[in-house]
Structures are given as structure tokens and as C-alpha cells.
Amino acid sequence: MNEQASFNMQVLDALLLDYATGALSLPLEVLVETHLAMNEDSAKTMNMLMKLGGVLLEDSDPVSLSEGALENVLKAIEQDEEQQPHNSKRKIDTDSALLPRPIADYLPDRNNSSWRRIGIGLFECDVVFGNDQGRAKFYRISPGTAIPSHTHTGTEVTLVLQGGFTDETGNYGPGDIAVQEEGGEHKPVADNDGECMVFAVNHGDIRLTGPIGRVLNLLVN
């Protein structure tokens, strides 16, 4: 395994662990969830991490719930006993129908005006995740297109949604994650066998935890 591949694997495991514990920012969470739907090995690892969570939960020391908690909950379940669980509807359009659900919900149709042409055979589209959630973009690259060499300002995690590309570090196909470190420079070329579409998240430090959690974490540590 070359150095980049082993680096990619390390980042991937760290991301999977962060996903399992719920520590990822929203864009990375979506990225990892999509990856999980496309990669069997990672799916297995995630199952293991969820099991691990179950073990740790089960073995935690209990902290009493408030008095009347059970009555409270029983009352709530009695109230909704007549309700049926609803099946969520999937939206279907040309592109997103082919993709796993987590990412499909964010992908605009290819005719949508949010797609911008930024070079020959290269289109990008910003994905809005609300405030302070980091930067995320979709890219569409025509078959065989070479992207001019570029550097990255922050660490960038890229998930291949369809097609593939090759750069100095290797070849990446559907479901693969490539990681570009801050300051890293590369020159990807889309594979010839079809349009390449990727989802790229600029890896910030922003996390989902609310302000109260953050402050308490600081105090505790």
C-alpha cells in the first residue's frame, strides 16, 4: 500500500469513528453516510463501531432519570398508539435517482442554475448546509478532462459518486474517498469511461454540538 493510500485509510477510519459517535459536521456526515452505502468494507466497520457503541452504552454506569420518567413515557406512547409509522417518500429525478439517498437529497438536477461552468468540461455547484457547516461542493467533470494543477487551502475530503479520476496518488472510483491535505497539490484527470461526479467537503473544525455541550466540554477538560 503506498503512502497516500495508507494515509487515506487512516483518515477514513477516523471519519468512520467520528461518524459513529455523532461528532461530524453535517457535510461530512452526509459524505460518510453516502460512502457507507457504496462501500462494503466501510459498512462492515460501521456495523462494528455501532456494536461497540452498544457495548459501551450497556456497560455504562446508570444515572437515574427524573421521578415519573417512565410514567411520562408510557403516557406518550399511549397517546400515539393509533399513529402508524409513515414511510418517507423518496424524491426522484434524473441524477439523484441513481445515488444513495443521503447525497441524493442535496444534489440539484443537472439543469439547475446552481451548476456553474468553471472550466472546459468542469462544473461545480455549492451545497448549502446552513451556517458554519463548512464548505461543500459537487463537481462534474467530463470524461477524460484534466483539471489544472491546484492546491488546497484546507484539508479536503472528496467522495466519488460516479465515474472516476486519477491523480498522482492513485485511481479513485465510485464510493472511494480521496483526501487532500492542506497545501497539497494535485492534478486529477477524469477517467474516460463516463462523466465523473464527486462531492467534496472542506474539512473544517466546526462540529454539530450545540453551544451548551461545547462549554461543558471545555469545563470538564
The footprint of another protein on residues 54-73 (CB under 8 A) is: 54-66, 69-70, 72-73
Of positions 5, 52, 118, 120, contacts another protein by CB under 8 A:
52
CB neighbour list of residue 133: distance below 8 Å, 6 or more residues apart: 25, 26, 27, 206
Of positions 85, 92, 94, 148, contacts another protein by CB under 8 A:
85
Site for another protein in 164-193 (CB under 8 A): 174
Task: Print the binding letters for residues 118-157 with another protein: x by CB under 8 A, - otherwise.
Answer: -----------xxx-x------------------------
User: How many C-beta neighbours within 10 Å does residue 166 have?
Assistant: 16
What separation in angstroms does the CA of 96 have from each of 3, 101, 109, 197?
A: 34, 8, 7, 11
- Rounded-to-integer distance, Cα 102 and Cα 176, Å: 16
Q: Is 190 helix (H, G, I), strand (E, B) or coil?
A: strand
9 touching another protein, by CB under 8 A: yes
Alpha helices in 59-190 (DSSP H): 69-79, 101-104
Of positions 31, 32, 95, 99, contacts another protein by CB under 8 A:
99
CB neighbour list of residue 91: distance below 8 Å, 6 or more residues apart: 104, 105
5 touching another protein, by CB under 8 A: no
Only one of the segments 42-50, 114-122, 144-152, 183-191 lies at the binding site for another protein (rule: CB under 8 A); that segment is: 42-50
Of positions 44, 116, 117, 187, contacts another protein by CB under 8 A:
44
CA atoms within 13 A of residue 101's CA, in its CB half-sphere? 4
- CA 156 vs. chain centroid, Å, equals 12
Of positions 1, 2, 3, 40, contacts another protein by CB under 8 A:
40
48 touching another protein, by CB under 8 A: yes
Only one of the segments 23-31, 108-116, 118-126, 142-150 lies at the binding site for another protein (rule: CB under 8 A); that segment is: 23-31
